[in-house]
Amino acid sequence: MLSISIYYYRKMKEQASKTSNTINYRGQKIINTYQREADIWNFIDRLTSFSYVYNLLNERIKENFFDIDISKTNKLKKEFMNLNKTEGKNDKNLPEIHERLTSNNLVTNAEEIVLLAKQAIDFFNTSKIVSLITKPILLYNCYARLLKILFLSTFRKSQISKGSASGLYMENNTVVCKITGSFARSLDCYFSDPRIYLHEYRFDWTDLFINLPISEYDIYFKNDNYFVDIPEQTTRNQYSVHELTREILFIFSLNFFSRYRLSDWNKIIEGRSSDLIWKINEYIKSTCNVFPTLILNELHGQRFLFKSGN
């Protein structure tokens, strides 16, 4: 892990508390529905149309990506890099600096977004017909593609480093956020405070679902994005995590168990090691509606509410 000065930590904390780190929403959108999940994913399905995506990217550029403070994020990263310069330092241990999308380079991004949306929908639909022992792998692949869509809707594709992985890993029961990778890239699209990955914050995976799952109503009716306080192991302080961040960390941890610690995952599912499975299952079901809704919110700069009935 890179060393970080106390001065820098305090400076970042100060800036985070004084300025807004999320986008400025342009309004709210209510969709009356009798099939909430189906209609949420029907909106995601619109991203499989090239013309729809092309127009959406143009709108995002015109609206300055709904005022997410990209300049602030890059400034903090550069300060971090200057404070941690070391001879022979591998670039993979330094944060990536991204260039925002422009009208000159959106066609390539739009084409890839269409393909990613198709894959995300396939992964999600398949996740509904498999058992819980496999479901996290499919959901993680689905959500990772939705996050990549958000990245490609904000930054140039050429800025993606080759060979970068998920940007997360597990140490025993701890989820660790890495300085580079898709997690850090996607966070830059909706939250301009990069401390969580610059400091390589660590979270016990069970702390990610201590609080009850939220609904779309929670997000829609709050004045700002939904945040939840979770214990961070390095600083031993509570860290306010954006709900989109909490959900990808949660699904990643389950994906890790399902892939690499299958015996442990099976014991959790069968309730032989704990009774956590009830909370886990409840939160998984919640993310199937909330995660894509949050992605729609960020992409369109509006708060979507899929409301049952007329």
- Evaluate whether residue 15 is within a structural domain: no
CA dist 153 and 103 (Å) reads 11
> How many separate domains does the chain show?
1
Q: Which residues contact 146 (CB under 8 A, 6 or more apart)?
A: 44, 116, 120, 291, 292, 295
Please report whether residue 23 resides in a domain.
Answer: no
pLDDT at 308: 79
Which element (helix H / strand E) includes 227?
strand 227-232
Q: 255 pLDDT exceeds 80?
A: yes
Residue 25: inside a domain, yes or no? Answer: no
What percent of the chain has a predicted confidence (pLDDT) above 70?
85
Residue 84: pLDDT band with limits 50, 70, 90: confident
pLDDT digits (tens, 9 = 90+) for 271-295: 987 888 999 999 999 999 999 999 9
Amino acid identity for residue 150 in this structure: L
* Residue 4, in any domain of the structure: no
Beta-carbon contacts of 279 under 8 Å, excluding residues fewer than 6 positions away, are: 209
pLDDT at 16 over 50: no
Is the pLDDT reported for residue 2 higher than 50? Answer: no
Looking at the chain, the whole-number percentage of residues with pLDDT higher than 90 is 62
Position 18 scores a pLDDT of 36
Residue 50 lies in a domain: yes
| Whole-number Cα distances in Å, 46 to 43, 189, 291 | 5, 20, 16
**Residues 245-254: tens digit of each pLDDT:** 999 999 999 9
Is residue 264 within 8 A of residue 270, CB to CB? The reply is no
Is residue 15 over pLDDT 60?
A: no
- Is 256 inside a domain boundary? yes
More confident: 5 or 296: 296
Range of the domain at 114: 30-308
The pLDDT of residue 28 is: 85
What's the mean pLDDT when you consider all of the chain?
86
Contacts of 297 (CB under 8 A, 6+ apart): 25, 219, 303, 304
Q: How far apart are CA 268 and CA 24, in angstroms?
A: 40
pTM for this model (two decimals): 0.89
- One-letter amino acid identity for 79? E
Which pair of tokens denotes residue 148?
Answer: 């990549």
Res 214: pLDDT: 72
> 């201590």: which residue's tokens?
210
Residue 12 has pLDDT above 50, yes or no: no
Position 124 scores a pLDDT of 98
Instruction: Please say if the pLDDT value at position 3 is more than 90.
Output: no
The answer on pLDDT for 88 being more than 50 is no
Give domain status of residue 164, yes or no.
yes
Residue-wise pLDDT tens digits, 38-62? 999 999 999 999 999 999 999 999 9
Rounded CA separation 196/193 (Å):
8
Residue 165's pLDDT band (boundaries 50, 70, 90)?
Answer: confident
DSSP assigned state of 192: -
Beta-ladder partners of 10: none
Give me the pLDDT at residue 30, please.
87
| Residue 131 clears pLDDT 70, i.e. is over it | yes
The contacts found for 10-19 with CB under 8 angstroms, 24 or more apart, are: 11/79, 12/76, 12/193, 12/195, 12/198, 13/195, 15/72, 15/76, 15/193, 16/193, 16/195, 19/69, 19/72
Q: How far apart are CA 52 and CA 111, in angstroms?
A: 11
Residue 21 in any domain: the answer is no
Judge whether 223 and 169 are in contact, CB under 8 Å: no
The 10 Å Cβ neighbour count of residue 297 is 24
Backbone CA torsion sign across 163, 99, 116, 95: positive
**Of the candidates 141, 151, 209, the residue with the CA atom closest to the CA atom of residue 175:** 209
Provide the pLDDT for residue 92: 60
* pLDDT tens per residue, range 188-234: 999 999 999 999 999 999 999 877 667 677 776 665 557 889 999 98
Give residue 297's pLDDT. Answer: 93
Closest CA to 122 of 49, 52, 44, 35: 44
Q: Is 194 helix (H, G, I), strand (E, B) or coil?
A: coil
Residue 162 pLDDT > 80: no
pLDDT at residue number 206: 94
